């Protein structure tokens, strides 16, 4: 089972622009926030079609496209690629030329397939997602300590490390004397 890091891809088909975006998500609340943000960011778009898989929760939407031409193809591609904890949204700007049901199906399929081809897949682990907040001064120390894990960094007033930790390693993280850490948040991401 795999997940992804955020990525996007854009394609134009018969003057319609298709912007596909993919995100790693942990819950339905995150899905709602991302959809709201995208509708604000791309407020003049015609359609916001999407699918998500969060463990056994799956949903797709054609967002006023003809039934079965957008949401289901997006979901099928996510399933075919063995993805989980993922949201894929395809934003469409109508270009004035109708594509028909089969043309829409091909367009949405291509927009998502090409996106996934260029998106690195990450193996999901049974474990935890850990967020460590630290100052910039401690960055080199933390990079060294965390070198065996996959992590992302977010820069703000501090640095937030988002790390996926296998279940067997969580005691090491919890019991480590992190005088360099300002805050630690641990969320279970076990996938059954």
The CATH number of the domain covering residues in 127-188: 3.30.70.120
pLDDT in tens, 128-140: 778 888 888 888 8
Identify the CA nearest to 186 among candidates 159, 168, 163: 163
CB of 67 within 8 A of CB of 61?
no
Q: Answer with the residue of higher pLDDT: 16 or 126.
A: 16
Q: Work out the pLDDT band at 181, boundaries 50, 70, 90.
A: low
Proportion of the chain above pLDDT 90, given as a percent: 59
DSSP state of 36: H
Domain boundaries, the chain: 2-123, 127-188
Given this model, what pLDDT does residue 148 score? 83
Given this model, what pLDDT does residue 1 score? 85
pLDDT in tens, 141-164: 888 888 888 788 889 998 988 887
CB of 128 within 8 A of CB of 101?
no
pLDDT in tens, 65-119: 999 999 999 999 999 999 999 999 999 999 999 999 999 999 999 999 999 999 9
Name, in order, each residue with C-beta under 8 angstroms of 165's C-beta and a sequence gap of 6 or more: 127, 128, 129, 130, 149, 173
Calpha distance 190→101 (Å, rounded): 39
Proportion of the chain above pLDDT 70, given as a percent: 89
Q: Is the pTM of this model over 0.85?
A: no
- Write the class of the CATH domain 2-123: alpha beta
Q: Which tokens is 59 given?
A: 């949903």
């Amino acid at each position: 089972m795999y997940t992804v890091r955020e990525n996007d891809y854009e394609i134009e088909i018969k003057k319609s622009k298709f912007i596909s975006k993919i995100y790693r998500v942990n819950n339905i609340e995150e899905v709602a926030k991302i959809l709201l943000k995208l509708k604000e960011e791309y407020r003049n778009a015609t359609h916001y079609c999407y699918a998500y898989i969060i463990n056994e929760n799956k949903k797709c939407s054609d967002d006023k496209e003809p039934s079965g031409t957008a949401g289901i193809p997006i979901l099928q591609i996510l399933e075919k690629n063995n993805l989980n904890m993922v949201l894929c949204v395809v934003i469409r700007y109508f270009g004035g030329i109708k594509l028909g049901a089969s043309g829409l199906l091909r367009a949405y399929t291509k927009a998502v397939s090409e996106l996934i081809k260029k998106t690195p897949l990450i193996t999901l682990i049974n474990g935890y997602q850990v967020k460590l907040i630290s100052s910039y001064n401690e960055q080199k120390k933390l990079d060294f300590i965390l070198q065996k894990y996959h992590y992302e960094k977010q820069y703000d007033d501090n640095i937030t490390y988002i790390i996926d930790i296998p279940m067997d390693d969580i005691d090491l993280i919890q019991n480590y004397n992190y005088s360099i850490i300002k805050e630690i948040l641990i969320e279970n991401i076990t996938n059954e």
